[in-house]
A and B are shown apart, each in its own frame.
Chain A
């Protein structure tokens, strides 16, 4: 009976801490005007300028093999922009870890009677929440991008979105646990995000109707290889499937890669965080 009581009280304390850390992350984001501006401007820039500007050049058959993507360019990139708007805030949320170390708040947290795992969970949940909010924000552009909206498609999009948010928050925490300066973190995060985004078949398709030999005729081998090796490729593919009913890659591979992409960074980040 006393053992049960102790376990319940521990769980209660654990939940209270996780909630406190989570809430703090969310409040900090809401007070960071730079982040909010970024959250709005990024999708507008990509969808309304890049998307609209390139739409006429999509599916026009500049090469011998025309792409068989049954969508406009703006529809094609919209799920990718959702992922981009998840990646940035997820990684950025971990900056608070460096911030705390620099300005002493980590002492308040780490000298408290709370288990470290609860702090980690709060940070992870906080970053994921912030990222999800910004990812869902892109959905405002669905009508402008002429993507048919249904509740089921939105609901189906949540799972791959959460996966990306979790994975990139964990990657951010992993980086922040090992880095001491804001500048270093910023540079590292940017050099990670942009290639991961561009090499994910986000802004150009690898035509699935082509065989590997044909794909290799249209694109250099290294590019085809990198796109296939990039886990973000599969996240965007899953999201396209949920929102447009269109996919370029094998669903089993996609889901397996995505699951590993969530679990491995979280495990590594937790390990780094505990030290």
Chain B
């Protein structure tokens, strides 16, 4: 086993009665990295996270966190984890500080360190002035910041965030990214983040794309983008026949939406030269755009547009 890995997952399988949520997933997360787990709703992300957090006993395969087997040493695994859940998990009636002290107690932080650690994490997420305010007075973004601070209170080696920015405004979102960056850079914490928002995975060191219970891709985001090949050319063409002709010429490399056709091109210059050369063709092009493939394109490429809609409907 790789000693520098914080998470080791091998051939993880899990079924809920008749539904296979995970069908043999394997990966490892290096220490100190920012690992994003990307997938549509119902892809198996939550099942995977729950298996990591020992909230669920997987039907097959192995998971270890910080070198500890989740089945054999669940309590030790939990102590080395900081969790930020998708939905709020604070006690509204207690103050900010009381919530932190409660957490310190149930995570067995020694008594002499509790108050000091609580002030440290409050400083980290810039909520010191709110220490004695009841949590019910906090905005959604502030609550989320408090939860991130709380996850750090017992000095975990790994922080797991399940869709942490869902439902937050842009400012809160940006702040949270700053904190997460600081955690990783200054505190050497390993971050595992699940999201269905592709933009959030762009800054990760590693991106794993999961769909239908299987790992579809795992690489650096830049490499994943390269994997799609060259550039993407978006052409707006009013003429249906011409669009069809282009789509026939590049089978499997075209996507159409309304009057825009997108072509995946290994060598975009050659293709453009050819287009411009034929004056009749060129006149039919209303607009042209050459873009780098985004992670979103990789994602759609791997999971498929229709499929994503269908699974989203199913999980609702």
Task: Point out residues on A near B: beta carbons under 8 Å.
Answer: 12-13, 16-17, 19-21, 23-24, 27-28, 31-32, 103-115
Interface-lining segment among B21-29, B86-94, B115-123, B243-251: B86-94
For A19, the closest partner residue in chain B by CB is B105
User: Taking the nearest CB of chain A, how far is it from the CB of B163, in angstroms?
Assistant: 13
Which chain B residues lie closer than 8 Å to A32 at the CB level?
A: 93
A28 to B93, Cβ gap below 8 A?
Answer: yes
B75 to A108, Cβ gap below 8 A?
Answer: no
A113 in contact with B79 given A16-B108, A17-B105, A27-B98 (CB within 8 Å)? yes
Give bound CA distance, A108 to B91, whole Å: 10
B85 to A16, Cβ gap below 8 A?
Answer: no
B242 within 8 A of A: no
Which chain A residues lie closer than 8 Å to B75 at the CB level?
A: 113, 115
A111 to B53, Cβ gap below 8 A?
Answer: yes
For B98, the closest partner residue in chain A by CB is A27
For B90, the closest partner residue in chain A by CB is A105
Which chain A residues lie closer than 8 Å to B88 at the CB level?
A: 103-104
A111 to B94, Cβ gap below 8 A?
Answer: no
Give bound CA distance, A20 to B75, whole Å: 18
Give bound CA distance, A17 to B134, whole Å: 22
* Besides A17-B105, A111-B53, 4 new A-B residue pairs in contact (Cβ under 8 A), listed by A number: A20-B101, A20-B105, A20-B106, A113-B79
B106 to A112, Cβ gap below 8 A?
Answer: yes
B71-85 residues at the A interface, CB under 8 angstroms: 74-76, 78-79, 83, 85
The answer, among A12, A16, A21, A113, for a CB contact under 8 Å with B78, is: A113
For A113, the closest partner residue in chain B by CB is B78
Give bound CA distance, A112 to B83, whole Å: 9
For A122, the closest partner residue in chain B by CB is B106
User: Taking the nearest CB of chain A, how far is it from the CB of B162, in angstroms?
Assistant: 10
Residue pairs across A and B with Cβ atoms less than 8 A apart, 8 shown, are A16-B105, A23-B102, A24-B94, A27-B93, A109-B106, A111-B78, A114-B106, A115-B75
Which chain B residues lie closer than 8 Å to A19 at the CB level?
A: 105
For B87, the closest partner residue in chain A by CB is A104
Which chain A residues lie closer than 8 Å to B89 at the CB level?
A: 104-108
Task: Point out residues on B near A: beta carbons under 8 Å.
Answer: 53-55, 74-76, 78-79, 83, 85, 87-94, 98, 101-103, 105-108, 134
B108 to A113, Cβ gap below 8 A?
Answer: yes
Give bound CA distance, A113 to B68, whole Å: 14
User: Taking the nearest CB of chain B, how far is it from the CB of A96, in angstroms?
Assistant: 9
B91 to A112, Cβ gap below 8 A?
Answer: no
A24 in contact with B102 given A104-B87, A104-B89, A111-B83 (CB within 8 Å)? yes
A103 to B108, Cβ gap below 8 A?
Answer: no
Which chain A residues lie closer than 8 Å to B134 at the CB level?
A: 31
Max chain A C-beta neighbours (<10 A), residue from B54, B87, B89, B134: B89
B55 to A111, Cβ gap below 8 A?
Answer: yes
B93 to A31, Cβ gap below 8 A?
Answer: yes
Which chain A residues lie closer than 8 Å to B93 at the CB level?
A: 27-28, 31-32
For A28, the closest partner residue in chain B by CB is B93
Which chain B residues lie closer than 8 Å to A113 at the CB level?
A: 74-76, 78-79, 106-108
B55 to A20, Cβ gap below 8 A?
Answer: no
For B80, the closest partner residue in chain A by CB is A113
Which chain B residues lie closer than 8 Å to A106 at the CB level?
A: 89
For B109, the closest partner residue in chain A by CB is A16
User: Taking the nearest CB of chain A, how far is it from the CB of B80, in angstroms?
Assistant: 9
User: Taking the nearest CB of chain B, how far is it from the CB of A261, in angstroms?
Assistant: 31
Max chain A C-beta neighbours (<10 A), residue from B74, B93, B106, B107: B106
Which chain A residues lie closer than 8 Å to B78 at the CB level?
A: 111-113
Give bound CA distance, A111 to B92, whole Å: 19
Give bound CA distance, A19 to B111, whole Å: 12
Give bound CA distance, A75 to B90, whole Å: 45
The answer, among A16, A27, A31, A104, for a CB contact under 8 Å with B106, is: A16
For B94, the closest partner residue in chain A by CB is A27
User: Taking the nearest CB of chain B, how far is it from the CB of A5, in angstroms?
Assistant: 14
Give bound CA distance, A31 to B134, whole Å: 10
The 3 closest A-B pairs by CB, nearest first: A20-B105, A113-B78, A104-B89
Which chain A residues lie closer than 8 Å to B83 at the CB level?
A: 107, 111
For B55, the closest partner residue in chain A by CB is A111
Give bound CA distance, A21 to B98, whole Å: 12
Give bound CA distance, A249 to B94, whole Å: 45
A17 to B90, Cβ gap below 8 A?
Answer: no
Which chain B residues lie closer than 8 Å to A111 at the CB level?
A: 53-55, 78, 83
Give bound CA distance, A115 to B74, whole Å: 11
Give bound CA distance, A113 to B154, whole Å: 11
Give bound CA distance, A251 to B238, whole Å: 95
